[in-house]
Structures are given as C-alpha cells and as structure tokens.
Structure 1
Amino acid sequence: MTGASRTTAVVERSAKRAPLTVAVLVSALSFASPASLADQPKAAREAFVTNQTGDSLSVVDLASGAAVAEIKIGGKPAGVALSPDGRMAYLTSPESKELVVVDAEARKIAARLSVGQGPLGVAVNPVSGLVYVADWYEHKLYVVDAAAGKIAGTVEVGQSPSGIAVTADGKTLLTADRDSNAVSVIDAGSLQRTAVVTVGERPFGVTVDAAGQRAYTANVGSDDVSVIDLAAGKVIGTVKVGHRPYAVALAGGRAFVTDQHSASVTVFDQATLAVVKTIDVGDYPEGIEADPTGAAIYVACWDADRLERIDAATLAVTARIPVGQGPRAFGRFLRP
C-alpha cells in the first residue's frame, strides 16, 4: 500500500478496520406568492455516496430509501461534490490521483482528470462552476475547469489540506489544513490566501454557513469544533463533541457533527453553542450533509456500509439505507 493511500484514506481512522489509503405549513404556502414559492429550496432527490473500499459510487433514491445504481470508479474514491445544476458529480480518487467526473443523469463516467499527488477534499463554486481540489501531499488547492478539462490555477495553503468550503456568493474559499491546525481563507477571484486562522487540533472537515459569516471545523485531534467569525478572522467559540469528529452539517440553527470513533452525531445550537443531543448512528460516521430544505440530515457510516437519515425536527434516525463498501461521502453529495 502506498503512503498516499494510507494517509488520505485513514488519517482519522482507528486500527479497528484495515485502512485502504469519513397543517401550519399548508396554510402558509397557500398564501405564498409565486415568486416566494420559486425561492423555496428544493428537497434533495438523490445522494451520491463514494464507497472507498468498494471502489464505487452509490446513487441513492431518497424518496424510496434505496440505492438504485452503483458505478465502478477506481482509485479509492473519497471526496464528492456536485455541479450547481446537479448534472455532474465530481469525485476525488486519491490512489489514482484523479478527479473523476460522473454524468449524474446517464450514471456513467464522463471524464478523468489527473490532479496532484493526493487529491482528497473537493468543492464546487456555486457561481462560476469551477472545481476546487485539496491536495494532501502537495499542500495546495487546485482550481479545475472541468468543462475545459484543465487545471486553471493553484493556491499554496497549509499542511495536508482536507476539507474545502465555498461561500454562497462564490467569493471566498476555505481549506481545513489538518497538519497546520489552521484554516486558509482564499479570495476566489484573485486566488490569493488572505488569512490563516488557527483552530483546534487536526481540522478535517470545514463548513460555512449560508450567510458566509461563520465557518465550523471538525477537529479530529482535539475532539471539538472551532467556530470562526470570518469577518474578524478569528475563532469565537469551541464546542466539545464526540471522539474523532470528521465533518459538520448545518440545518435549522443547529450544527450536526459526525463523531467517527463514538458512532454518533453531536448536535449543538449555533447561537448558544450548547450541545442539544448526541444521536447514535452506524459505526464510523464520516460524510454528512443537510437536505436543502433543512428537514433531514444524511450521514455516511463507513463500517456499517450504509447511509442514514436523521429527522432534523425530532433528531431521530428515520432511515438506514445500504450502500457500497466503506462509504465516505466526504463533501456535498445531495442532488436536488
């Protein structure tokens, strides 16, 4: 096994498993104008789950609660992101050092692009459609023009960048620089690193709120989440969570954190930073994302080989959906 496969796939996993390279509503809607209805977020229809040990991508129909396709990918896929229109899925394959482009409608690979030496985190600019890939070994962020099939730029960041977040206006990028214990803040237009914010130990996943005001890092080394005020460029709060937190999702004024070694999701209030509940889920929960409507949270559980649904109102697990082997789904994997 290469160093790349070990590090990018297993930096936050224990020896337990052999690593391979994370009624009122009706009334309100009846009075809504057509314009306001058009602005309502649409529920996700599908989930695109990278299965790292299975070397595949599972496509899950969320209405039926079943996987409807499994696409062979190769290279131990880990990261995932979707184009703004939902037509393309972008996957990172650390072992083959590729960004794999999948046609979401046709359910087939559309392109393979060589990117760096250890591609891991991936995100898409919601405005420009450019794809960003964090390279674990080269300590940089790649900017990829997937439509043109070429690399459009690079940015030097901290050591071993993992997760990536982009603000809704597409102007600011964030990378969680795991081995620097920091987050890099990058201007998306100039591709200049404008700030470095020190956070907890070994930040892995990073998430930014819809307003682009706060960011949240899951710090696997210190078992906590750092809350960053982006305008001030500093940490304004720290929340203790479960063992080895991996990633964070936001919904309904709450943050949901996957705790890998605790087999749980910690929920805390975004305003008070008080922990609301700890939810038991399948073994080794990693990737997590909130439905655009805020009604549900979806969690990929590596050792359980399934995707789980959490009801955002009741904070109960309401579905457990079998997928491929070793689901990681690191990034944004829900398709509207």
Structure 2
Amino acid sequence: MIQIEKLKIYYRTLHGDAKALDDVSFTINDKEIVGIAGESGCGKSTLGNSLILLKPPMKYVGGEVKINGDRLPIDNTKEMRKYRYKTVSLIPQYAMDALNPTRKIGGIIKDLIGQHRIKYEEIEGRLYERLNMVKLSKEVLNMYPFELSGGMKQRVVLVISTLLNPDLLIADEVTSALDVSSQKAVSLMFKDFRDKGIVNSIIFITHDIAVLYQIADKIVIMYAGKVAEIGNTEEIIMEPLHPYTKSLIKSLPNAGIRHTKEKLEGIPGHPPNLINPPEGCRFKDRCPIADESCVEEPPLQEIKEGRFVACWKVKDL
C-alpha cells in the first residue's frame, strides 16, 4: 500500500546539511504495523515528521512516497493540507504537549474537520464512539487541555489523529513516558484500531524493541540516517543479521536473569556526525566485524523474501 523510495530529508545547519534521512526505502503492506527502531538521532522521528509536515530547518532533497500508487506531495506544504489527518496522520513524540492550550478540545476538533470541509454533524457520532473506545466521556470536548491529565491528553490526541480514519497512522514514541503496564495497554489499543479498520496501516516509532515485539508485524532498523535491516518481527528479534541489530538486541535485559549472572552489552563509540558522515558503511567504526570491504557503502539487499540487510558480510553472519 505504501512505498517509501530513496527518501532524503536533510536539516540545514550553519555547518552544512545534516543527512538525517539518506536514501531510505521500505514498503508498508495493507493492514501492517511497521516498527521503526534505532538509537536516538538515527532518523526515526525525522521520517515520521517528514510524511506530515516539513518544518524548517528540515528540507526535502529527493525520493518519493506513494500511497496506493499516488505520490504524496511531502515537498509541497500547501498541497499536503488535504492529505494530513485524512490520508496520513501523526501522533507526535510529545503528544501531551501537542494541544493548543487556548482552545477547548471541541474547538480543536472543529478546526480540524473544517480544514477538510466536513460538517460537525457528519462526524459527531463517530467522535463520541471514538471517545468511548479510549474511555473518555464527551465532557472533555468542553474542557481545555490544561484541565486534563497527561494520560487523558494523550488519548485525546489519539482520537483527533484517527478521527478521519487515515490510511496511515504514524505513532512517534507514544509509549516512552509510560510504565510497562500502560505501554501494553496503549500497544493493544493501536492493534485494536487497526483491526477495526479505523486506521489501515501504522508506523510505530520507538527506541524500545521490546514494545515492538508486542505490536509490530515488521521491523525496520535504522542507523545514522540509513536502513540497516528489515524483516518480520520474529526474525529481527530472534535471528538478527546486521551487526548493529545484534548489538541492539544484546542491550535488552532478559526476564529472570540477575545482573550478577549476566551483564548487558552496550554498543561502543558514538553515532557518526551526519553533517560529514564517514565514507562507506556508517556503522563500521563501531562494528566488531568491520574490515576493508566496509569502506564502500553496502546496498540494502534482499537476502530472502521480505528480509533486507545492508552489510557486505551478511553471508558470513
């Protein structure tokens, strides 16, 4: 349904362009939840935001995004207005702070549907149903954001982001501030929205691979603006192939293992400077198996159906 092809999104800085997304390609199938994982600064949130609104200093450099064969005009802010919330929608990273504090919730919703020339009466029944799904009363529509708790605000944003039943919903780090039980509840809520056809497909962005194991059908691992590995969730978690993916998995704690018996392994070094990224593989300076072949950039190659890896040494892994 959704094709992201060679997408390049950079950030303008005083020292040059930071290559936050550099030739990123992957597909999202109908009814699929795709998890995007990687360290901070790898380009996860840039990817999500670029599909909604390019805010300075972000700039479109190249590539394209297609939904059902139609090109999404992400490089044209004015043209994108008719697609936002209806075709593609976003729950931002700081969802609890995303609401206009000077507008009541009902007013915010009326502004949204007004942009798409939808009358309130046409959407009212769906709105009440959606509020009930996330266990909110319709009384919140007459309240200001500051009158709501953090959890209530997050659920309001979920309602607003899905009210027009978008083809693609992007959830950016929506579980990062929640405890484990709340994380599970939110994850199940997203699956419920997908299963009921409220949204068609979902991009779920997080640094926490354990959360993706509960919700995602497929995982895209990103590193320094590039895609390192793509595969179904079970394969990525249980049989990682890229050295970076393996390092991420090793950094996760295992249930029932005491720290005195087994230590977590961190990834040595730091992510590269994306203004002047290293030639070749961007992970080579931190990779335990890098050799002279890594001075040339590895392509993202399909090693079997649906499984992609960007590593010259994948045949040895």
TM over 0.5, yes or no? no
Structure whose alpha-carbon radius of gyration is higher:
2
* Structure number having the greater strand percentage: 1
Query: With CA pairs under 8 Å and 6+ residues apart, which has the higher RCO, 1 or 2?
Result: 2
Give the TM-score of the pair, scaled to structure 1.
0.29
* Structure number having the greater helix percentage: 2
